[in-house]
Structure 1
Amino acid sequence: MTSNPGPATSVRRGPVSGTRLGLALPQYGALADPAAVARFATAAEDLGFGSLWVGDRILTPLEPSDLYPGGGTPEHPYPNEFETFADPFTTLATAAAVTRTVRLGMSALTGPVYSPVLLARALTSLDLASGGRLDVGLGLGWLREEYFATGVPWAGRGKRLDAVLDALEALWTGDPVEHEGPQWRIAPSTVGLRPAQDPRPPVLLGGFSPPALARVGRRADGWLAGWMPKQYLTGLWSVALEAAEKAGRDPGTLRRVLRINPRAGTGVETVADVPPCLDVARELGITEVLVDLHYVAKDVDHALELAAEFVHPR
């Protein structure tokens, strides 16, 4: 996919100069309350957050094959919060209906487990419902049982993500649409539903390996990064920039969205530890930061209290 940041959107920014602050919508763990999403999204926009985000978790097996890369152990293979996880599309659609200016993003959908035809329909509908405020975030995920449960092979998942991106590009820009890939054949078809953003919503890719960052550079609009030491953020980003140059793209158009999850035992323990992370983000030229409060908030109201303290410190 070629770089396309989408149309300009009027966004009220938080108090951190030069940084657009994003907030994770209440979606999992103690905050998994679909009925509270509208209230939360409205309050977050009023507080000045510039973007709202969802994640993707399909199931939590009792004996998973893989440990959560963010600190899973054999005794606790993934955070307990993952055991309750609301649907990302419904959550974003609810937020789209009650907000006016915030960007709406995914950090990130497990791309290879979705049919691209159905995925394109859902994403296009979200982009239209939000008036062109959608950022599509895709990644490979880390849990092979989610692949097995959706009937998708674990092996070759990187190539499958590339195939999903190819199919989405065709569905968003072709007229008529026709696509032949290793997994799917889309017969010549009329698809009248087109995204509000021209020619498509921005596509951001997650991942923390050199191949993942090379894919970002070759074909995405930006990287969904996670908090890590500066040398790793810088080193991985250099892979994306080099790949963009080799692909004949302008590396300066690539975005970085840095996700920060305050959580005990991670070095970013509480919301009070977030400002130094923002200083690092500014130092590295990262202008978009997503804060996820699911691990430190007791409920939706507490999450809003923490968010208010964060953007308007006393």
Structure 2
Amino acid sequence: MTPTPESRSPVRGTRLGLALPQYGPLADPAAVARFATAAEDLGYESLWVGDRVLTPLAPSDLYPGGGTPEHPYPKEFETFADPFTTLATAAAVTRTARLGMSALTGPVYSPVLLARALTSLDLASGGRLDVGLGLGWLREEYVATGVPWAGRGKRLDAVLDALEEIWTGDPVAHEGPQWRIAPSTVGLRPAQTPRPPVLLGGFSPPALARIGRRADGWLAGWMPKEYLTGLWSVALETAERAGRDSGALRRVLRINPRAGTAVETVHDVPPCLDVARELGISEVLVDLHYVAKDVDHALELAGRLVTES
């Protein structure tokens, strides 16, 4: 049962976002429109998708969020809907919520095709898109998409270079080791000027330095406060050295209530929100895929979270 809308206000000054139903038992593309409408009515100010290409039986890498040799990644990852289709559906039925990715595995995409899809989403949403990119963690996804695992950081930089040129160049042209874009006319331009905000994921000093050099913000995951502040300082210092306004950088903190949590209360989320406020993090993304039994249950929990936080 869809909860009754109670508020359109942020939760005590924190912009609260919600993951769209996309994977595991919530992977129901036909329910995305209903979920997105209800979430916006409840007061959620952003709606998010993730990215998973495949789940190999014997992966080379363990999920960094707690994978083990017996369970290398969450079982929920085995069913994963397309992020672009999911966001396009949400864009069509919402009015004010921003739409983001946390995060697309940037290097596995052709920047020309990626730019077309992202620009179309920004236009379809009336300029509400936040582009979220990262390196991912699973090398089999790179192999399956024909992209080398080695040098993926440089490849992400090349994707960012190409996207910038496609979004802002006239005519568009790009020369690099991975792609050559012949001088071309690209009539499709984003609704946001000069381009949608680009947020990058990552949990290492080089990743945060890249954010400081060239991104609009950090897609952070839940971690101890000292790591959140220490890594963030790398981005801020790098931005200042590059002559950028470090105060304009955003942080979006992702919170995944743990499997096994008392799902009736989602009791571990409000304390995390308090930490986010303490650290000056104004945007929080809550992902209920590990604790909700189905889409209706996720909406029930989302309504309770707004009330209890």
Letter of the structure 1 residue corresponding to residue 226 of structure 2 = Q
Corresponding residue of 1:237: 232
Q: Give the C-alpha shift of residue 14 in structure 1.
A: 3.9
Q: Does 1:90 align with 2:90?
A: no
Match of 2:294 in 1: 299
Paired-residue identity, %: 90
**Aligned letter for 1:144?**
R
- 1:115 corresponds to which residue? 110
1:55-66 correspondence to structure 2 within 5 Å? 55-66=50-61
Structure 1 residues 275-286: aligned runs within 5 Å: 275-286=270-281
Q: Is the 8 A contact 1:139 1:206 kept in 2?
A: yes
How many angstroms does 1:265 deviate by?
Answer: 7.0
Does the alignment pair 1:205 with 2:200? Answer: yes
Asked whether the 8 Å contact 1:15–1:312 carries over to 2, the reply is no
Alignment partner, residue 309 of structure 1: 304
Secondary structure in structure 1 of the residue aligned to 2:17: strand
CA distance in 2: counterparts of 1:39 and 1:167, whole angstroms:
35
Check if 1:221 corresponds to 2:195: no
On the 8 A contact 2:270/2:308 being kept in 1, the answer is no
Letter in 2 for 1:250: D
1:25 alignment counterpart: 20
Q: TM-score of the superposition, structure 2-length normalised?
A: 0.96
Q: Deviation digits for residues 246-273 of structure 1, max 9, x if unmatched?
A: 111010000000000001379x996211
Q: Which residues in structure 2 correspond to 1:1-80 (within 5 Å)? A: 13-80=8-75
Corresponding position of 1:99: 94
SS of equivalent residue, structure 2 residue 161? helix
* 1:174 lines up with 2:172 in the alignment: no
CA contact (8 A) 1:14 1:311 kept: no
Secondary structure in 1 aligned to 2:136?
A: coil
1:3 — aligned with what? none
1:153 maps to 2:154: no
Q: CA deviation at 1:312?
A: 1.7
Relative to 1, partners in 2 of residues 1:260 and 1:270: Cα closer, same or farther, differing over 3 Å? farther
1:173-209 CA-to-partner distances (Å, cap 9, x unmatched) read 0000011011000000000000000000000000000
Q: Structure 1, residues 56-115: CA drift from partner, whole Å, max 9, x if none? A: 000000000000000000000000000000000000000000000000000000000000
Give the distance between the partners of 1:89 and 1:16, measured in 2 at CA.
28
- 1:303, distance to aligned residue in structure 2 (A): 0.1
Change (3 A) 1:257 1:140: same
Gaps of 5+ in 2: 1-6
TM-score (norm 1): 0.94
Contact 2:221 2:255 in 1 (8 A): yes
Instruction: Output one character per residue of 1:119-143: Cα deviation in whole Å (capped at 9) or x when no partner.
Output: 0000000000000000000000000
How far apart, in 1, do the equivalents of 2:253 and 2:10 lie? 17
**Equivalent residue of 1:312, what SS?**
helix
Instruction: Note the 1:245-260 alignment, pairs <5 A.
Output: 245-260=240-255
Shift of 1:16: 1.8
CA distance, structure 2, for counterparts of residue 64 and residue 133 of structure 1:
36
**1:15 Cα deviation from its structure 2 partner:** 4.7
Among 275, 282, 292, the alignment partner of 1:287 is: 282
Letter paired with 1:235: G
Relative to 1, partners in 2 of residues 1:78 and 1:14: Cα closer, same or farther, differing over 3 Å? Answer: farther
Structure 1 segments unaligned to the other structure (5+ residues) = 1-11
